[in-house]
Amino acid sequence: MPDPAEKLTVDFFSPADCLVDIFSRALSYSQNIHVKAAGLGSLTFSGSSRRFLADTQDLADFLRQPPQRVQVSVLSSKTDLLAENPAARDAEELLWQAAFYGSNGRLLQGCHWSDVVQLKRWPNLTRLPTTSNAFRILAIFYQHPTSVYLASRLLKIPAAEVYQVYSAAHAAGLTRAVNREISEPQLKPHRQRALLSSLLERLSIR
């Protein structure tokens, strides 16, 4: 019997190749950060309250930028500027989007095609970028945890589409692999840039 791995072409991408790493680092250390992309606007992210507020005309384009094209500044952790802001959105949405756009049909490093995936809770898909079969993929993971490979076969859809949805859901913290412990990367906190912090606190949130 042929090895099913031979039937799959698996390309991986690193969280550090897109903006997932930037937001994950802020979450891990409860940091508040301001992210700016030249010509595309900015975004304020609170690792302490797990919320974000975007000031951009095109969030999708913003999140497609590679890390080297954005500027990250650390804001004060004394006051959470987004905790009570009704316009702020849940960080889960941002991480889904950053991984979704970063994937482009590839699988997030740390994940594997053989992972037996369980969806822990449903995301609000009306607020998220999805594929044409995203609902079906998530439904099978939620109702009958199965491997990424088998989900592709059962649903008769390209593996790359399952990779993209799984990567987005995993980055957002919505899934777990029931057959193994996924090793998460060791993250470092963002470095403080004191000269900008106080000014950005006054300007980023009003």
**Mean pLDDT per 10-residue interval, the chain, length 206 residues:** 52 95 94 95 94 96 96 82 85 98 95 96 96 98 96 96 98 95 72 53 50
To 10 degrees, what angle do helices 159-171 and 91-103 make?
A: 150
List of E strands, the chain? 12-13, 32-37, 41-46, 51-55, 70-75, 89-90, 107-108, 116-119, 146-147, 175-177
Provide the 3-class DSSP secondary structure of residue 1.
coil
Cβ 98 vs Cβ 63: under 8 Å = yes
User: What is the spatial distance between Cα 31 and Cα 33, in angstroms, rounded to a whole number?
Assistant: 6
Neighbours of 30 (CB within 10 A): 14
Cβ 97 vs Cβ 169: under 8 Å = no
pLDDT value at position 92? 97
pLDDT value at position 139? 98
Helix spans in 47-182 (H): 59-63, 91-103, 134-143, 148-155, 159-171
**Which residues, listed in sequence order, are joined to residue 54 by a DSSP beta bridge?**
43
pLDDT value at position 188? 76
pLDDT value at position 108? 96
The β-bridge relationship of strands 12-13 and 107-108 is parallel
DSSP 111: B
Strand order from edge to edge, sheet including 175-177: 146-147, 116-119, 175-177
Among 151, 165, 50, 161, residue whose Cα is nearest residue 97: 165
